[in-house]
């Protein structure tokens, strides 16, 4: 072979890799965070809001009392 090969890149290899991969990494992380917010936390917050909208604490307490799980107050029968 009489022709000479082109000199390969000797420096800046990490910088080149980061230039390409860092924006992708940030982008994917951002997408993951946004996806988690709207797929997980939003339904969860809504579920809690809906639960407590119709929540009657006294009624629940009496139901639990009648079931007999408390030690300080016993069911009305005893």
Partner 1 sequence: MLRLTAGRVGGLLSRRTVAAFSFGSARMASRGHDVTEQADMSLPMYCDRLDTPLPDRPYRETLSPADKSLKQKEKGPWNNLSKEEKLALYRMTFNMTYAEMKRPSSEWKTVLGGIFFFIGFTGLIVLWQRFYVYPPHPRTLDDEWQSMQVKRMLDMRVNPVEGFSAQWDYEKGQWK
Of 16 and 46, which CB lies nearer to partner 1 in the complex structure?
Answer: 46
Q: Read off the DSSP letter of residue 71.
A: S
CA dist., res. 62 & res. 76, Å (int): 10
CA dist., res. 23 & res. 11, Å (int): 21
Measured from the CB of residue 23, what is the shortest distance to partner 1 in angstroms? Answer: 34
Of 19 and 44, which CB lies nearer to partner 1 in the complex structure?
Answer: 44
Measured from the CB of residue 62, what is the shortest distance to partner 1 in angstroms? Answer: 12
Measured from the CB of residue 61, what is the shortest distance to partner 1 in angstroms? Answer: 10
| Residue-by-residue DSSP string for 19-64 | HHHHHHHHHHHHHHHHHHIIIIIHHHHHHHHHHHHT--HHHHHHHH
Of 25 and 63, which CB lies nearer to partner 1 in the complex structure?
Answer: 63
Binding region for partner 1 (CB under 8 A): 44, 47-48, 51, 60, 63-64, 67-69
């Amino acid at each position: 072979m009489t022709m000479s090969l082109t000199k390969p890149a000797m420096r800046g290899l990490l910088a080149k890799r980061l230039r390409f991969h860092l924006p992708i990494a940030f982008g994917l992380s951002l997408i993951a965070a946004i996806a988690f917010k709207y797929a997980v936390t939003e339904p969860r917050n809504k579920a809690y809001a809906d639960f407590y909208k119709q929540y009657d604490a006294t009624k629940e307490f009496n139901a639990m009392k009648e079931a007999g799980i408390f030690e300080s107050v016993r069911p009305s029968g005893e």
